[in-house]
Amino acid sequence: MNMAYELWRRGFKVLLWDNDKQGNLSKAFGRYHAEQTAPVTRLLNGDWQKPEELIQPTDYEGMDIITSNLSLFGATWNLMKEESEDRVKKYQKFMEAETGEQTGSIVSDRYDYCIFDNPPDIGINVLNALVITDEVIVPVKIDENALEGLDIVAEQIEDARVLNPSLTLKGVLITIYQNTDGESAGLEWLRQEYDKADSRNHSRYDILGVIRYSRKVAENSFVKKPIYEYSPWCAAAQDYKWFVSNYTGRER
Ligand SMILES: Nc1ncnc2c1ncn2[C@@H]1O[C@H](COP(=O)(O)OP(=O)(O)OP(=O)(O)O)[C@@H](O)[C@H]1O
Ligand SMILES: [Mg+2]
């Protein structure tokens, strides 16, 4: 949500895609509907006609969302059993679908960025996302388990390149960072790993940003707003701003 907000503040058109059955991203925008079959589920089921049926506006003009809920669970389960080639191309089909706006214009033309919020496990819904993803950003909290998990993620992304050769692991975004001895040692270790990496997997552990722990972020989960709108001067709000300036090369 905070990354999308910062892109939007720079004038980019953003499509958010909640790819997690918990639907926390949808909830954060006040767009969670528990009772209906969620748009992301309908996408995987192939149960839609026009893209407009599935895209919802947020309160921020130029930022739209495709929402999720628990119905996603059933859809992934069904698709796993299907043996068709296109079971990982359901999202691609949507991005290439014509919109009502003008002849020949497709969904992906409408946006500068599409951000998938993925769950931690790579299921068929995540594979669908990886097929149309250019860059993967891995949010990590610095602890031993998470750092070990990074190797696995890097391998899985490498494997997924069979489905999408242009897929790259852009880097990691450190979150909930506290400047303790343990965490600063972990950060230092990550930086060295990156420097050591040979040119072939150069981008492997690139650190795209460090988002510091802020009490305001924890409080904010009840407010349902980007952190910058809730508390612009807190460390996390400033860090998200820096991260997106650095990522896009554009200040706001
Ligand atoms: N910079 C931060 N400072 C303080 N607390 C944070 C920060 N970032 C995240 N949190 C806390 O951690 C919780 C989970 O964060 P987030 O939703 O980004 O993680 P997640 O791993 O995607 O979890 P899930 O998808 O299960 O919600 C947030 O509700 C928030 O309370
Ligand atoms: Mg999440």
| CATH (residue range 1-133) | 3.40.50.300
Residue nearest to atom 23 of ligand 1 (CA): 24
3, 19, 24: residue to mutate for ligand 1 pocket, most atoms within 8 A of CB: 24
Q: What is d(CA 124, CA 15) in angstroms, rounded to the nearest whole number?
A: 20
How far, in Å, CA of 8 to CA of 126, rounded?
24
Least confident of 123-132, 180-189, 192-201, 232-241: 192-201
Model pLDDT, residue 103: 82
Q: What is the pLDDT of residues 12-68, one digit of tens each?
A: 999 999 999 999 999 999 999 999 999 999 999 999 999 999 999 999 999 999 999
* Residue 120: both structure tokens together: 């931690």
Q: Which ligand is nearest to the CA of 230?
A: 1
pLDDT-derived band of residue 202, with 50, 70 and 90 as boundaries? very low
Q: 10 Å Cβ neighbour count for 132? A: 22
Beta bridge pairs of residue 117: 18
Average pLDDT, the chain: 93
Question: Is any atom of ligand 1 closer than 6 Å to the C-beta of 22?
Answer: yes
> Is ligand 1 within 6 A of the CB of residue 65?
no
- For the segment 120-127, the average pLDDT, to the nearest whole number, is 94
- By alpha-carbon position, which residue is closest to atom 13 of ligand 1? 218
The secondary structure element, H or E, covering residue 207 is strand 207-212
Give the DSSP per-residue string, 218-232. Answer: HHHTTT-S-HHHH-T
Q: Which two tokens stand for residue 216?
A: 């305001």
What's the whole-model pTM score?
A: 0.94
